[in-house]
Structure 1
Amino acid sequence: MRRNSSLFSLFVVLFSSLLTGCSGSAVLNALTPDGSYNLESVPYGDHSRQQMDIYYPDDPQQRQKVVVFVYGGAWERGDKADFEFIGQAFARLGYITVIPDYRLYPEVEFPAFIDDVAKAVSQLEGAISASCPSAQSVILAGHSAGAHSAALVAADPQYLQAQGYSGRIGGAILMSGPYDLPLDHSRVADKFSQANGNQANPVALAGASMPSTLLLHGRADSVADPEHSERFAQRLAELGVPSQLHIYPRTRHVDLIASLGSPLRFLTPAYGDIQRFLSEQHLDDWCD
Structure 2
Amino acid sequence: MPIPSPLSRPISRRLGLLGVGSAIAALVSGCSGAQVLDHLVAHDTYHGPTGVPYGPDPRHLLDVYQPDTGTVPGGTPVVLFFYGGNWTSGERAEYRFVGEALAANGIIAVVADYRLSPQVHFEGFLGDCALALQWTLAHAASLGGDPARVMVMGHSAGAYNAAMLALDPRWLAPLGLAPKRLAGWIGLAGPYDFLPIGDPEVQLAFRWPQTPANSQPIFYANAKAPRSLLLAARKDTVVDAQRNTVGLANRLRAAGTKVDMRIFDNIGHVTTVAALARPLDWLAPVLPTVVAFVRGEPLPN
TM-score by length of 2: 0.85
| Alignment of 1:189 onto 2:203 | yes
Q: Map 1:243-262 to 2 at 5 A.
A: 243-262=259-278
Please give the alpha-carbon distance, in whole angstroms, between the structure 2 residues aligned to 1:280 and 1:164.
27
Residues 255-274 of structure 1 aligned to structure 2 (within 5 Å): 255-274=271-290
- Which residue identity does 1:251 align to in structure 2? I
Tell me the amino acid that sits aligned with residue 235 of structure 1. R
- Per the alignment, residue 65 of structure 2 pairs with 55
Which residue, 205, 210, 218 being the options, matches 2:220? Answer: 205
* Residue of structure 1 in register with 2:45 after alignment: 36
Distance apart, 1:162 and its partner CA: 1.3
- Aligned with residue 177 of structure 1, among 190, 193, 198: 190
Match of 1:77 among 66, 89, 93: 89
Q: From the superposition, tell whether residues 14 and 124 of structure 1 become closer, same or farther in structure 2 (CA, over 3 Å).
A: same
The 5 A counterparts of 1:1-288 are 7-8=16-17, 10-19=18-27, 20-21=29-30, 23-41=32-50, 42-62=52-72, 63-128=75-140, 130=142, 132-135=144-147, 137-165=149-177, 168-186=181-199, 187-193=201-207, 196-227=211-242, 228-280=244-296
Contact 2:130-2:171 within 8 A present in 1 as well? yes
Aligned length: 277
Q: Deviations over 1:16-37 (max 9, x none)?
A: 2201325212333221122111
Stretches of structure 2 that go unaligned for 5 or more consecutive residues are 1-15
Deviates more, 1:258-267 or 1:117-126: 117-126
RMSD over aligned CA atoms reads 2.3
Q: Contact 2:71–2:145 at 8 Å: present in 1 too? A: no
Matched residue SS, 2:266: coil
**How many percent identity over aligned positions?**
35
Question: Which whole-Å deviations, capped at 9, do the CAs of 1:158-194 have from their partners, x for residues lacking one?
Answer: 1111122367011111100111122422242111017
CA distance in 2, matches of 1:152, 1:22: 29
Which residue identity lines up with residue 185 of structure 2 in the other structure?
A
Query: Aligned to 2:215, what secondary structure does the other structure show?
Result: coil
- Which structure features the higher share of helix residues? 2
Unaligned runs of 5+ in 1: 1-6, 283-288
| Other structure's SS at 1:72 match | coil
For residues 222 and 198 of structure 2, the distance between their equivalents in structure 1, rounded to whole angstroms, comes to 26
TM-score with structure 1 length normalisation? 0.89
Q: CA deviation at 1:129?
A: 7.0
Q: What residue identity is the alignment partner of 1:258?
A: A
Q: Partner of 1:116: helix, strand, or coil? A: helix
Give the AA of the match of 2:235.
Answer: A
